[in-house]
């Protein structure tokens, strides 16, 4: 496995996703309501259909960019490696774990819980003690590990199966 390439890809993906999430939150923090502690979500009106659509309009391009980038980078990195599936899986897993860790430490704990800027506060919830719920975000990090495994298998399979005879 090319560890340096996985670390660089993880840093790139982390910057892209964290930046994109910050933009989504600046546009409307209610778009990301499913990422907020339940004590905050339950204290405001439910997310509207327009807000759900707004999140999809903003999140789908990011998802497409990330998936296309990962498919391209792991294919180009491992195209000449025999028996590459474990390397493909591990590469994508490392990338997602770097992002998962950056999300926890930078976006969730540092910015959301500690700094708590106004653009992340859902209107009508300022001062809610759940904004300091570090445990909620750690549980999200644990769930992220499971999702990283699932996405690593999916993306590694997408690259390996069609091009497996070349890899």
Walk along the chain (167 residues) in steps of 10 and give the mean pLDDT of each run. 93 97 97 97 97 97 95 88 86 97 98 97 97 98 98 92 63
Q: What local confidence, expressed as pLDDT, does residue 162 receive?
A: 76
What is the rounded distance in angstroms from the CA atom of residue 110 to the CA atom of residue 105? 6
Give the pLDDT confidence score for residue 165 in this predicted structure: 54
Domain coverage including residue 23: 3-163
Cα→Cα distances 138→51, 105, 117, 132, 157, Å: 26, 9, 20, 12, 29
Report the predicted TM-score, pTM, of the whole model to 2 decimal places: 0.91
Long-range contacts of 106-110 (CB under 8 A, 24+ apart): 106/18, 107/18, 107/21, 107/22, 108/134, 108/137, 108/140, 108/141, 109/134, 109/137
Q: What pLDDT score was predicted for residue 164?
A: 61
Number of structural domains the chain divides into: 1
């Amino acid at each position: 496995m090319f560890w340096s390439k996985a670390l660089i890809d993880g840093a790139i993906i982390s910057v892209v996703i964290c930046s994109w999430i910050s933009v989504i939150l600046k546009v409307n923090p209610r778009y990301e309501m499913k990422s907020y502690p339940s004590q905050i979500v339950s204290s405001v009106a439910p997310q509207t259909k327009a807000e759900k659509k707004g999140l999809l309009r903003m999140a789908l391009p990011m998802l497409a960019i990330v998936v296309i980038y990962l498919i391209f980078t792991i294919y180009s990195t491992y195209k000449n490696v025999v028996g590459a599936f474990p390397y493909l899986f591990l590469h994508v897993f490392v990338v997602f774990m770097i992002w998962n860790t950056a999300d926890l430490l930078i976006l969730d704990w540092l910015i959301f819980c500690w700094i708590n800027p106004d653009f992340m506060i859902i209107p009508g919830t300022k001062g809610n003690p759940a904004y300091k719920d570090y445990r909620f975000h750690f549980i999200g990090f644990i769930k992220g590990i499971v999702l990283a495994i699932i996405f690593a298998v999916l993306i590694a399979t997408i690259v390996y199966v069609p091009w497996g005879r070349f890899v």
